[in-house]
Amino acid sequence: MKIDVVTLFPGFFASPLATSMMARAIDRALVAVETHDPRACATDKHCTVDGEPYGGGGGMVLKPEPVHELWQDRDLHAGHCIYLTADGQPLDQALAVELSLKKQLVLLCGHYKGVDERIRTELIDQEISVGDYVLTGGEPAALVLIDAVVRLIPGVLGNFSSALGDSFQEAVLDCPWYTRPADFRGLNVPEVLLSGNHASVERWRRHQALRRTFERRPDLLERIELDEEERQLIADWHKQGLEAP
């Protein structure tokens, strides 16, 4: 896969792309990431890329001229062009899987107060949000999207089928984990983990994860598939007044 990132701050990506999974994926030629600075296509001596919104309003917006020129100069039209914006389609696991099947992604990182509307209507195929909050620019959002997508490319992780099977539900149900030292004696470890009964261990982990989610983010339980026993557990917790503060 080829990923082109259009950003005013190319240096923002240097360390993350040279670390861990991303570094291995790039070294193995499973993905290629290239950054493009619109300033390279600005025509004035100051390399101006921002301008005041027409008709007034606070802040500055990214001008269309250098961005259009960059798209033509680097042939970015050939890729699936994404603008990272708070009002875009929410990024979820299903969308990450869909994007992982693309041959080329072009990620436009906004800055200032956003971008000229002509950029959005003429160059962008899809607008994506990584969450309901405001960032200083699109660079952190681009890294989130890149990470979510690249890990799904075959060969990037050791177990591709496991990565493909990951779900939001599994990520939400973050159960307590314990490493196994040579001797458990004297350590505060739940007895069920010492039982050797794998079914009991998995059931315990699932219930602990549900309890943790119930106490911290009860709203997320509406998005998780539950069996009858688990629904009864949650009903009992409600009766016991265990709701999150």
Confidence of residue 116 (pLDDT cuts 50, 70, 90): confident
Mean per-residue pLDDT over the chain, rounded:
86
Length of the chain: 245
Q: Are 84 and 130 in contact (CB under 8 A)?
A: yes
- Cα–Cα distance measured from residue 210 to residue 217, given in angstroms and rounded to the nearest whole number: 10
pLDDT at residue 48, as a whole number: 85
* 108: three-class secondary structure by DSSP: strand
Tokens in use for 182? 């040579």
Residue 219 CA to chain centroid, in angstroms?
20
DSSP result, 153-187: STTSSS-HHHHHH--HHHHH---------S--TTS
Q: What is the C-alpha end-to-end distance of the chain, expressed in Å? A: 45
Q: Domains of the chain, with CATH numbers? A: 2-159 (3.40.1280.10), 171-239 (1.10.1270.20)
> 125-158: per-residue pLDDT in tens?
999 999 988 898 999 999 999 999 999 999 998 6
pLDDT at residue 159, as a whole number: 58
Phi, psi for 223 (deg, rounded to 5): -105, 10
pTM score, whole prediction? 0.77
Task: Identify the residue with better confidence: 106 or 222.
Answer: 106
Q: Where are the beta strands (DSSP E) in 52-97?
A: 61-62, 80-90
